[in-house]
């Protein structure tokens, strides 16, 4: 187990390094001039040269990258090129919105996707199983934007139970009001991503239902549901965990859309605004944060799969060393 964890940590570190290089390089290929964004349309060439010098943009790209790379491990993601604010500090504030949104959507998606996915597999030849499958296909097909607008229409316009948009200016000082502001966004994100997870849970459960050990358990007198819960759930959990790691990335991307629909001051809204303003330091900090979250979740998923099925880790170790 120790060797496996060390190997995964090494791959995590290399992945983060590669992501930092790609992020830094690709952002420098974007059109536009950060100095022009700071100086405005009235800045002349001398002023633009002075701004580039102050921002360090006249330094070689390797030197700029190295400075940023050495500061990241200390938690310093740099400062905004437009107003000088701390990127780390701003991200901390935005995560107070995006964090609960994504975590709540993930939990809610699991709550309905896992039992309904298993039910759809067990009762696939009956009406309720078919209805669940059709509903999940519909959930996958519907755009997140449309789902959000529909929920606003139903629960904020026609029946004014919840806020349509926005987040309290005082943040979580009033937990009740802040939570109410996140109900519709969380539900929007959970429905969209939970439909995908439900289909995968159904497929994994169907695969387990055809295994010999399930047939043996049923021959011993257990019901199909009882045999599945006692003997098949653990074996179906591995593939579902793999999909869960992918879904976290999808949730983060979906959160960008949801935050724009519901006017939430989260990381997604911040990222979109900073791309438009060409604030490269903030954008690369935001992108690296999202990448780090996705990679770390993938690392945790690998550890969880190792605990569920040690044989899987042995196969992966042989693949890496072979």
Express each pLDDT in 1-27 by its tens digit.
778 788 888 888 899 999 999 988 888
C-beta contacts of 116-121 below 8 A and 24+ residues apart: 116/198, 116/201, 117/197, 117/198, 117/199, 117/200, 117/201, 117/202, 117/204, 117/205, 118/201, 118/202, 118/205, 118/228, 120/198, 120/202, 121/201, 121/202, 121/203, 121/205, 121/206, 121/209
∠ CA 197-209-214 to the nearest 5 degrees? 135
Locate 169 and state its tokens: 């200016």
Nearest by Cα to 292 from 60, 73, 116, 114: 73
Distance between CA atoms of residues 197 and 189, nearest Å: 12
CA 176 vs CA 87, 167, 212: distances in Å: 28, 12, 51
Q: Residue 287 pLDDT > 80, yes or no?
A: yes
pLDDT digits (tens, 9 = 90+) for 80-95: 877 888 888 999 999 9
Locate 121 and state its tokens: 């597999």
Instruction: Assess contact for 101 and 186: CB atoms under 8 A.
Output: yes
Task: Determine which of 44-48, 66-70, 74-78, 226-230 has the lowest per-residue pLDDT on average.
Answer: 226-230
Question: pLDDT value at position 125?
Answer: 78
Question: pLDDT value at position 213?
Answer: 65
Q: Residue 279 pLDDT > 80, yes or no?
A: yes
pLDDT bucket at 319, cuts 50 / 70 / 90? very low
Which comes out higher in pLDDT, residue 257 or 221? 257
pTM confidence score: 0.82
Q: Residue 318 pLDDT > 70, yes or no?
A: no
Orientation angle between helical segments 280-308 and 2-28, nearest 10 degrees? 160
Question: pLDDT value at position 321?
Answer: 43
Question: pLDDT value at position 232?
Answer: 62
DSSP summary character for residue 155 = I
Q: Residue 70 pLDDT > 60, yes or no?
A: yes
Contact residues for 265 (Cβ-Cβ < 8 A; gap 6+): 93, 94, 97, 167, 259
Locate 251 and state its tokens: 């949730």
Instruction: Assess contact for 259 and 185: CB atoms under 8 A.
Output: yes
Distance between CA atoms of residues 233 and 224, nearest Å: 12
Question: pLDDT value at position 21?
Answer: 92
Which comes out higher in pLDDT, residue 76 or 223? 76
Distance between CA atoms of residues 31 and 280, nearest Å: 11
DSSP summary character for residue 162 = S
Domains of the chain and any CATH numbers: 1-74 (no CATH), 87-319 (1.10.3720.10)
Q: Residue 136 pLDDT > 80, yes or no?
A: yes
Which comes out higher in pLDDT, residue 76 or 210? 76
Question: pLDDT value at position 18?
Answer: 92
Average pLDDT estimate for 31-59 = 76
Question: pLDDT value at position 183?
Answer: 93
Average pLDDT estimate for 164-177 = 87
pLDDT digits (tens, 9 = 90+) for 182-230: 999 999 999 988 888 888 888 877 777 766 666 676 666 666 666 666 6
Q: Residue 273 pLDDT > 90, yes or no?
A: no
CA 122 vs CA 40, 133, 206: distances in Å: 63, 12, 8
Mean confidence (pLDDT) of the chain: 82
């Amino acid at each position: 187990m120790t060797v496996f964890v060390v190997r995964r940590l090494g791959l995590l570190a290399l992945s983060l390094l590669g992501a930092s290089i790609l992020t830094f390089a690709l952002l420098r290929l974007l059109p536009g001039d950060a100095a022009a964004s700071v100086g405005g349309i009235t800045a002349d060439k001398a002023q633009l040269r002075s701004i580039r010098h102050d921002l360090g943009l006249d330094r070689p790209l390797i030197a700029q990258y190295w400075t940023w790379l050495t500061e990241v491990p200390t938690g310093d993601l740099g400062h905004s090129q437009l107003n000088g604010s701390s990127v780390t500090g701003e991200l901390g504030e935005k995560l107070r919105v995006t964090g609960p949104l994504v975590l709540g959507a993930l939990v809610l998606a699991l709550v309905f996707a896992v039992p309904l996915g298993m039910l759809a597999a067990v009762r696939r030849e009956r009406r309720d199983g078919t209805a669940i499958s059709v509903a999940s296909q519909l959930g996958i097909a519907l755009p997140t934007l449309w789902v959000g607008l529909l929920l606003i229409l139903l629960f904020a316009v026609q029946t004014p139970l919840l806020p349509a948009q926005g987040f309290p200016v005082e943040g979580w000082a009033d937990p009740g009001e802040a939570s109410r502001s996140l109900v519709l966004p969380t539900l929007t994100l959970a429905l969209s991503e939970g439909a995908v997870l439900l289909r995968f849970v159904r497929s994994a459960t169907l695969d387990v239902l055809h295994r010999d050990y399930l047939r043996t358990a049923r021959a011993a007198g257990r019901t199909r549901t009882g045999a599945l819960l006692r003997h098949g759930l653990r074996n179906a959990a591995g593939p579902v965990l793999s999909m869960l790691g992918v879904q976290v990335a999808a949730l983060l991307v979906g959160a960008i859309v949801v935050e724009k629909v519901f006017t939430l001051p989260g990381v997604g809204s911040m990222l979109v605004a900073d791309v438009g303003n060409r604030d490269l330091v903030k954008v690369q900090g935001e992108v690296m944060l999202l990448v780090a979250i996705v990679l770390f979740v993938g690392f945790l998923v690998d550890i969880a799969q190792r605990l569920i099925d040690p044989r899987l880790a042995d196969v992966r170790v042989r693949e890496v060393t072979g």
